[in-house]
Structure 1
Amino acid sequence: MEIFTLSDLLDARAESHGDKVAVSHNGETRTYQEVQEAVGRFAQVLAERGTRAGDRVVVLLPNSIDALVCLFAVVRLRATAVIVNDRLKPRQVGHIVGHSEAGAVVTNLRLGALLKHPETAATAVIDVAQVPMDGVPPAVTTNRASPVIGRDLATLIYTSGSTGRPKGVMVTHANLLAGARIVATFLELTPADRTLSLLPWSFDAGLNQVLATFWAAGTLVIGSTAHSPQICRELAAERITGVTGVPPLWEMLTKRPSTFLDQELPDLRYASNTGGALRSETLQRIRRAHPGTDFYLMYGLTEAFRSTYLPPERTGAPPSAIGRAIPDTEILVLDEAGRRCAPGEVGELVHRGPTVATGYWRDSEATARVFRPYPFAPQGAVPEYVVHSGDYVHVDEEGWLTYVGRRDEQFKSRGFRVNPTEIESVLLASTLVSEAVVFADASDTGESVVAAAIVPADASEFQLARLEAYCARELPGHQQPARIHVLTTLPRTPSGKVDRARVKQEWTRTEDAGGVVAAGAGDHRATG
């Protein structure tokens, strides 16, 4: 059968691979046929509780079989699923529930405390434990009266809010299926693949893992823990063929007590990184430990899901290299006047293709600013919209892209324009640092100076003087950090990425704090 919506995808897999295990979690499994039947039952309950086409339904659950069934049940009713990370706080959950104007929240008793916020008070709450997942399939198919089409909204994906309150990105069925098809294509997924799902499904990359696996009729194995030794055991015991992580996850897996670098994983065909630059040293250690595993580096943005990828044969490139456009996608590099940049010239990355979302929920001003008409369409063509990422890159003669940084994070130091990403890359190349965030801080004279929050690669061996000497040797004066904050960890967004906004908020100097403060959990050393 042809696939135009998420419901079509599930129905097609139930028809072609009905007896195959679709999902596994903590020893519990469901075949594609069983998932389809459970979705029908859940959709029936949601319809009886008042969910109609066009409604928003919040899914406040950890990654689980229940959450998977709920997602497909919501979209089967032509409603819109709003997947919320269960690690958020009541204020954040309240904002998403209120801003999305959700008609219902599906959750469990343990997470009910997250709904103790005024914005959630009038929203119906459905306890997932009260919804039958087994038994006789419903006699009535709930999506026939109001058919789902590809242009319908499937989900609102709320951004992490690193530059303000989270915005709801409007994503259609067609967007999600295009992303699933594209990733399944370049990762060469097949029904034999077993994908380990570790990223939250509220994160676009985490949701894509689910859908790309289903597109290929593979098996999704939902990770049971964030503890590195257990992740390593699951990789081996579940015979995982593919896994995707963010940089903090890969750093954790390459340090004790993890056994990732010591164990044999003959089934692990590929691994990939998203959500930020991965240190070259970390990538090299992974490649040496698992030479038979292809490693893909990916760059993307929530508004268009995935934009570029660096294939395994080029993963020796610098951390700032982000590859080239994913299939069926055009990446434009444009200057301030909207003209194409020449090779080597820095410009804004603009994404064109089938994964471009339809805008921001209830925010026409931000939508008009980010989603703009394709500037090179033939005269008289139907309008097509592209995403202006706010990220600056340059491209070489062969089409390979290098990340430069975000325009809104650049600042001036000693009269020179400073790009934090460039300095971070140098810090990470020192091998003394595993993570770094560079930002502008105030000096006694009122001028901006360079500050850096870093996590040592080896805390027991780290010497601040060695890093300062390295910076003096490798960086020009205007790029050298005037203050280095040495932390045990960096704050994270719910998707696991470094929370750059919180770093700057917590570590920007508000008064003269020269000298050295003992480092510890949440403490820092400031060099002035």
Structure 2
Amino acid sequence: MELSDLLTDLFGRHRERIALRTTGRNWTYEELDRMTSALAHRIDRECPPGRRVLVAGEHTAEAVIWTLAVMRSHAVHTPLNPGLPADRFEEFVRVADAALLVCFSREALVRAEKAGIRALHAGDVGWPAGPPPTDGVDGQQTRSRVAYSIFTSGSTGRPKLVDVGHGGLLNLCRSLRRLLDITPQDQVLHFASLSFDASISEILATLYAGASLVVPVWDQPSWLGSVSRHLAAHGCDLAMLSPSVYARLDEAARRRIRKVEFCGEALGEGEYRKAALYSRVFNAYGPTEATVCFSLAELTDFTSTIGTPIDGFRAVVRDPETGDHATAGTGELVIVGDGVALGYAGGSAAENAAFTTVDGSPAYATGDVVTLFEEGRLTYVGRIDEQIKRLGHRVNLAHVESTLAHHLGRDVALVRQDTTILLLTAAGGDATEESLMATIRDLVPVWEVPDRVVLVDALPLTSGGKVDRGALRERLAPLADGVPAGDAAELRRVLDVVTAVLGREIDPDTSIFDAGGSSLAMIQIQVKLSETYGEEAVEAAFAAMDYDFAPATFLRRLRGEASPSSESGVEALLRRVEAERDALRGELPLLRRDTRHEPPPWPGEGDRTVLLTGASGFIGGHVLDRLLAAGRPVLVVSTGDPDHVLSAHRARFGREDADYARVRATSYEKLDRWVERRRGPVVDAVVHCGYQVNHLLPLDSHLSGSVRNTALVVRAAAALGARSFAFLSAASVGADFVPLTAGALNAVGDPYSRSKLISEEYVNTLAVVGCAVSHYRPGLVYGHRPEDHDYLQDDWFTGLLDTARRVGTMPRLSGYVPVCDVDTLTETLLAGLGAGSGTGESASGAAGSRSEVVVHRTYALEELLHHTGLTPSDVLAPAEWFERVRGGDEVPAPLLAAMQAALSGPGWPTAHREVDHDILGRLLGAPRDARAGDGTGAAPLAEPQNGAARASSPR
């Protein structure tokens, strides 16, 4: 049965059932029948019969529907990874000799034009409203003998285009339904990239059984993270995953999978044991050249079996010495049956020699070594090209790899580099390269011991979810000057990008910030590098560098290499913070002086002076205005010109010079001198609002800037006699106030939020001198006057809402957005100082210590849609929304990056309303369809500095 006829039959058989699901949308089999038939008709008008149609889309229901449409057309379905580098994209288009490309982004249209192929943008076509027209296309046209073509790297690492016929598809569907026990009630996860042939199994096996294919929404920085989150929330009845992907799922996600079919690479005992705790476990084997799946077994205990052949296949083993075939024994697996592919399109005679016949039936020599038992059961031994001679013994690297993974209890990969054997494994726990090597020597014979153990951040995966051994080999070239030898061209490419942005070349190991670059320059470099290496890989590399970019370090992080030190970055940071905290704790009692009998700085002030930082910022400015209204004496400390801070505040709040008679302004430098001399004005309380709010700066910049200033203000609080200290932290630090540990630091995502957590730790040291400490972690803070408009231009959240209004679509936000009212927050900050009410009465004593998350109101996605005049039909997955916005070039790069950083979190978990008024409604005005003028944006969490983009993730 041809693929198109098979699909037509399935759509007709299960008409009323749900065939495809994604967040907020279901399609029945009847609806898919109508839509894919109409789209297939459109494709047949655009593409001659028998020619290939490239489908460049991933991980959306829309891409699945177009895939089914191409399968039903007279063309040949050929999926293409849209994230390929430009040169590879053009090479794949050339090899495929396709007539048409179906794409889902404007960038792909540009790529198609450069590659010389006609393209059809799915968004321009839209969804057909009715049945397909009957004009112009002959329904009796002969279809190609090729059901689909798919690229595979095979064992050589060089991509080949496999032409797969129709012969094995029905057997594949029947076997998977029976062996995996797929029922019409099952929800089957769609995980695989469409460019990976596992997606064929996911789609066809689901439809054949009348089940529902579920496409998670891509709402996390990575597809794997999105799937893991989806599974934790919704679960699934069946997931087809590689062991390497399964190992990266959260525990909560693994608990919700009822059946898991492992495929794509050898299953280790560790992954089996994890899966068997929660799921029925199946192990599948099948090269692309055998219509996805050749053999399958359900495991009730761990063995190395890959099962027995599915319907339509049989196995023989070939003796490598004689070339004879046998029905039992150990040798190269040769797959025999109608499901064997037709060959490699454009492949050489040597490449296509793997396709042959056995007893007149199509056959494929896999290059895999197996043991075949009389009853047809198979066990996997390894690859022919993985067998080597060492110390006179024949060694199978796959067998050694499996043995070591089992005994070490961790994922490992053995990689050959000429005559050297390297073992790679992810860093973690207390293991070092030396300790692991010592353990390995006790586990295996000397001829099986690798020459070296290398710890990496993570084993890289291919788009199909397998360990990417080609990428590992590239990363493990001999090191020279910190950059892999033979990789000078790669380093040159990165340096050229940096030079183009900065206007000058820098040393490979120099940070761009040390070279005078800005956060904007860093974002520009990140965007340019993403064009070459892919957005997800570059984002992961930048995150591993804590967004402190140096060219050579970037290349190492891109390859997954750890820092030269065996100590993790978080552990080193924790040691540094603990040492500085302990030093501060020991210093504060020496700084503390008795100010009870010292004269006040101004007559009549007593001991009521408040030291305030951040008065030039949005929140700090409101705090100063409230203190002025209360008549409190204030010592303003600023990073900028103190006189300018006060004059700007005067203009902003419309005050007179006389209102500042009891305000004194100074710099951090002068404050430091007061502390060193143990002299200065007497201070009763400190309100520390001054902080550079920029989630895109590297941690080192925060440590040397805002955190260093926080430590100085803490020292000043001790030296000037403060009895209370209120610190304005951030909700993005988290909801729990826990002791500082490596785990606590790891739980805080971005460098800015991590620096806030460290600052809280330094502030806590004031307990040794009896100073009451309060930490307030507010959400996004709004409540603006017209004079505050400048504080809105770089705010990620109102920038997002403004952009959503302009483009007519909203990204899907999970959870809630936590918001605070600036006036209410100001009252909270000053409640213990006797100035919260504006009465001017002094506090009778030190305020009590408090630590709280401050959220006055939360907003759900539905409320944001109302405020922007949009509807649920205007909501897009975040990845799709950012792609659309980025294509418009209307949002500054730092602000766009700040939006992405903020949306990377899971959102605020619960609804909350502490104030009755609509904070955003007051700020934004009426929705678009009812308001007279444009709305404005919203405010950052604290003071803006240096024009940097501000973002505070609502977590």
From the superposition, tell whether residues 75 and 333 of structure 1 become closer, same or farther in structure 2 (CA, over 3 Å). same
Q: Which amino acid aligns with 2:422?
A: A
Among candidates 166, 184, 208, match of residue 159 of structure 2: 166
The residue correspondences of 1:90-239 to structure 2 (distance < 5 A) are: 90-112=86-108, 115=111, 120=115, 122-140=116-134, 144-147=138-141, 152-160=145-153, 163-225=156-218, 226=222, 230-235=226-231, 238=234
The alignment status of 1:357 with 2:341, answered yes or no, reads yes
Tell me, in whole angstroms, the C-alpha distance in 2 between the residues paired with 1:117 and 1:348. 44
Aligned: 1:371 with 2:355: yes
Runs of 4+ in 1 over 6 A off after TM superposition: 510-513, 524-527
2:43 pairs, out of 28, 46, 67, with: 46
Pick aligned residue for 1:414 from 391, 398, 419: 391
**Counterpart-to-counterpart distance in 2, 1:72 and 1:260:** 28
Distance 1:185 1:364, change over 3 A: farther
Instruction: Specify which of 370, 376, 400 is matched with residue 393 of structure 1.
Output: 370
Are 2:294 and 1:307 equivalent residues in the alignment?
Answer: yes
8 A contact 2:241–2:465 mirrored in 1: no
Q: Distance in 2 between matches of 1:61 and 1:230?
A: 17
Aligned to 1:64: 60
- Indicate which of 437, 440, 454 corresponds to 1:485: 454
Instruction: Determine the C-alpha separation between the residues in 1 that align with 2:404 and 2:423.
Output: 9
Give the equivalent residue in structure 2 for 1:380: none
Alignment deviations for residues 145-177 of structure 1 (CA, whole Å, 9 cap, x no partner): 33456x721211100355143111101233333
The correspondence for 1:501, drawn from 470, 479, 482, is: 470
Q: In the alignment, is residue 454 of structure 1 matched against residue 411 of structure 2?
A: no
Query: Is contact 1:87-1:494 (8 Å) kept?
Result: no
Alpha carbons 1:275, 1:299 under 8 Å: kept: yes
Task: Tell me the residue number matched to 2:517.
Answer: none
- Shifted more, 408-417 versus 327-336: the winner is 408-417
Cα deviation, residue 427, structure 1: 1.8
Aligned counterparts of 2:74 and 2:145: Cα–Cα separation in 1: 7
The code of the aligned residue for 1:184 comes to R
Deviates more, 1:407-416 or 1:345-354: 407-416
When normalised by structure 1's length, the TM-score is: 0.84
Distance 2:210 2:135 in 1: 23
TM-score, with normalisation over the residues of structure 2?
0.48
1:441 aligns with 2:386: no
Aligned-pair distance for 1:30?
A: 1.1
Provide, for residues 351-401 of structure 1, a one-character-per-residue CA deviation record: whole Å limited to 9, x for no partner: 112321111111251454111111xx2xxxxx3220100011123454432
Contact 2:102 2:121 in 1 (8 A): yes
Flag the structure with higher strand content. Answer: 1
Partner in structure 1 of residue 26 of structure 2: 29
| Equivalent-residue separation in structure 2 for 1:43 and 1:195 (angstroms) | 25
- Match of 2:276? 287
Counterpart in the other structure of 1:522: 561
CA 230–201 in structure 1, closer or farther in 2 if over 3 Å, else same: closer
Quote how far apart the aligned CAs of 1:495 are: 1.2
Deviations 1:291-323 (A, max 9, x none): xx311011110100212222133x421xx4322
Q: 1:93–1:114: 8 Å Cα contact kept in structure 2?
A: no
Q: Structure 2 CA distance, aligned partners of 1:427 and 1:114?
A: 47
CA distance in 1, matches of 2:363, 2:404: 34
Match of 2:933 in 1: none
Q: Which residue of 1 aligns with 2:441?
A: 472
When structure 1 is superposed on structure 2, of 164-173 and 219-228 the one drifting more is 219-228
Match of 1:425 in 2: 402
Q: Is contact 2:7–2:72 with CA below 8 Å preserved after alignment?
A: no
Larger fraction in helix: 2
Question: How far apart are residue 407 of structure 1 and its match?
Answer: 1.5
Aligned residues of 2:240 and 2:260 also touching (Cα < 8 A): yes
Alignment RMSD: 2.9
What do the CA deviations read for 1:54-104 (whole angstroms, capped 9, x no partner)? 111100011333222322322333211110123322222212211111111
Identity of aligned residues (%): 27
- Give, in whole Å, the separation in 2 of the partners of 1:237 and 1:512: 47
Please say which of residues 323-332 and 209-218 is displaced more in the overlay.
323-332
Give the distance between the partners of 1:168 and 1:505, measured in 2 at CA: 23
Structure 2 unmatched runs, 5+: 483-552, 567-955
The Cα of 1:415 is off from its aligned counterpart by 3.6
Greater RCO (Cα-Cα under 8 Å, separation 6 or more)? 1
CA distance in 2, matches of 1:72, 1:295: 29
Matched, 1:17 2:14: yes
Residue type of the alignment partner of 2:40: A
Cα distance in 1 between the residues matched to 2:276 and 2:248:
16
Q: Does 1:331 align with 2:315?
A: yes
Rg comparison, structure with higher value: 2
Q: Supply the AA of the counterpart residue of 1:439.
A: V
CA distance in 2, matches of 1:399, 1:145: 43
How far apart in 1 are the matches of 2:132 and 2:226? 38
Query: How far off its partner does 1:269 sit?
Result: 3.7
- Which segments of 5 or more consecutive residues in structure 1 lack a partner in the other structure? 378-382, 443-447
CA contact (8 A) 1:77 1:142 kept: no
Residue 144 of structure 1, CA deviation: 4.8
CA distance in structure 2 between the partners assigned to 1:354 and 1:70 by the alignment: 27
Matched residue count: 487
In the superposition, relative to structure 1, how do residues 440 and 230 fare at CA in structure 2: closer, same or farther (>3 Å)? closer
- Following the alignment from structure 1 to structure 2, what is the Cα–Cα distance between the partners of residues 525 and 393? 40
Q: Is the 8 A contact 1:78 1:143 kept in 2?
A: no
SS in 2 for 1:165: coil
Change in Cα spacing, 1:73 to 1:432, as seen in structure 2 (3 Å) is closer
2:35–2:127: 8 Å Cα contact kept in structure 1?
A: yes
* CA-to-aligned-CA distance 1:251-288 (integer Å, 9 cap, x gap): 112x5xx4235x5x4xx441111111233123212212
> Per-residue CA shift, 1:333-361, capped at 9, x if unaligned?
12022324585x43001111232111111
Q: For residues 392 and 526 of structure 1, what CA distance do their matches in structure 2 show?
A: 39
The answer to whether the 8 Å contact 1:5/1:148 transfers is no
